[in-house]
A and B are shown apart, each in its own frame.
Chain A
Amino acid sequence: MADIVALDRPLDAFAEQAPPATRVRGYWQSVFYRLRHDPVTLVFASIVLLIVLAALFAPLIAPFDPYKESIVGRLKPFGWREHLLGTDELGRDMLSRLLYGGRISLSMGVVPVLIATLIGGMLGVIGGFAGGRVNTAIMRTMDVFYAFPSVLLAVAIAGAMGGGIGNGMLALTLVFTPPMCRVAETATTQVRALDYIEAARASGASTAAIIRYHVLGNVLGPVFIYASSLVSVAILLASGLSFLGLGVRPPTPDWGLMLSTLRQSIYVVPAVCAVPGVAIFITSICFNLVSDGLRAAMDVRM
């Protein structure tokens, strides 16, 4: 009987040698687990966090009032009278303007991506799930906007409407909605064709329940990864619009606009004039690297 018993419960033989049962992680825990063990992404994620916090708490940490001019203190190099990063063409403190400017540059970059993710994502899921005429209608309109290179579409809309933060953000949202919708639609159509959707329907789940529990979970991954990669593109595009005078109006601080107005004084204090450019570069490269890290952590093949 003994061997029968053994046969009866073959698993036990292995149980003792198997390592202690590792804690079972849900999908999101495993993503964070992988992220925690990826030093490169952690470093850049903390830099991004630092930048966002610095912009958020600009009023508290900015050493000077970003709008206070002092003609005597015009275009001074780094470190001139506690102006760590020097002063701009009107003698305003560069560090303070950089912090306050961060608010606008970041929001002009991040907000349109968020809105585009919401609208584009929703349209994509609806189009992907409904299929048929609805899908064609949505996707073909998106294709029309897809036909414009992103810079061109942003410039066309902001240019026609006359610039300003609101128009700039609207233009960027319109630029990012089509690609976001396309990513969501592709992900949704792939998911919809999988068997567990049919299994869910077979267990009596309504379409809403299916979308909520099965579709969204799987679509959010690729959508979120793609959105994170769009942020750095958005920041560059937003600063480009300001550079062309289509974004923020003076005297409001914004990295793109500061870069443009400081072009005139590049011979007096080249380092100070480079500061906004460096800020744009660091922010966008950090967002890019964090996005790559996220993709590696989340995009787990079965």
Chain B
Amino acid sequence: MAEVIALSPALDPRDRGGPLQPMLIARDLRKHFPVKGARGKSVQAVDGVSFTVRKGETLGIVGESGCGKTTLARLLLHLIVPDAGELIFDGEAVNAPDGLSVNALRRQVQMVFQDSYSSLNPRMPIRDSVAFGPFIQGREKPEARNIARDILAKVGLDPDLFGP
């Protein structure tokens, strides 16, 4: 854990734990789903998973379908509450009394889905889909829209094409 990271990327003012603090630490995450009908038996979707993801690092998890990948992903976002185990995000324990609130976590983490058709609301222009995050976190509609326009421009998409 002590090796020095090569020249770390430019400091991001929101980087609480400093460049060396691992982005995400999972310790003994566990989530079992009781099987309807057969009392006692349960599906051990996630059983004692621990890993660390450092900033700038990408972690790939591979497994056959039904081995618990999606459940793990949902656990990381607290979409489902883990039975046991701990989640440290950028140095702060998630959902712990003194740590990071789930809502705060939600502001900085998001899922990217496999099937693009079902990951975008067909009745909503792209710009509004992008603006939905900030808007739901409390920003006013116009402000959220501007954020969305900036992000679209940043990734090379012409904002005028993606929202009335």
Contacts and interface: CB of A to CB of B under 8 A. Distances in A.
Contact of B77 (A11, A29, A195, A202): A202
Contacts of A201: 79
A209 B164 CA distance: 22
Nearest to A216: B123
A204 B103 CA distance: 6
Interface string B123-135: 1110001001100
Interface stretch (A20-28, A80-88, A121-129, A289-297): A20-28
Contact of B123 (A11, A202, A204, A221): A221
Nearest to B158: A21
Interface in A90-107: none
A196 B114 CA distance: 11
A139 B109 CA distance: 37
A214 interface: yes
Interface of B: prevailing SS: loop
Contacts of B113: 195, 198-199
Interface residues of B, number: 33
A200 interface: yes
Contact of B119 (A26, A195, A221): A195
A275 to B, nearest CB: 43
A27 B110 contact: no
A204 B164 contact: no
A194 interface: yes
A40 interface: no
Contacts of B61: none
B111 A198 contact: yes
Interface in B15-61: none
A152 interface: no
B117 A302 contact: yes
Nearest to B74: A198
Contacts of B156: 11
Interface in B110-164: 110-111, 113, 115, 117-125, 129, 132-133, 136-137, 156, 158, 160-164
B79 A202 contact: yes
Interface string A185-228: 00000000111101111111100010001100110010000000
Interface in B55-73: none
Contacts, number: 80
Interface residues of A, number: 28
Contacts of A29: 164
Given A27-B123, A302-B117, A205 B163 contact: no
Contacts of B121: 196, 213-214, 217-218
Given A27-B123, A202-B109, A213 B137 contact: no
Contact of A200 (B77, B107, B136, B160): B136
A196 to B, nearest CB: 5
A196 B164 contact: no
A194 B118 CA distance: 5
A205 B124 CA distance: 16
Given A26-B164, A217-B121, A204 B158 contact: no
Nearest to A23: B164
11 contacts: A21-B161, A23-B164, A24-B160, A29-B164, A195-B119, A196-B129, A198-B111, A200-B136, A205-B132, A205-B136, A213-B124
Question: When A and B form their complex, which 10 residue pairs have the shortest distance between CB atoms, in order from nearest?
Answer: A204-B106, A217-B123, A195-B113, A194-B118, A195-B119, A203-B133, A27-B123, A205-B136, A195-B118, A196-B121
Given A24-B161, A29-B164, A221-B123, 17 more contacts: A11-B156, A24-B163, A27-B122, A27-B124, A195-B118, A196-B118, A196-B129, A198-B111, A199-B113, A202-B106, A202-B109, A202-B110, A213-B124, A213-B132, A217-B121, A218-B122, A300-B122
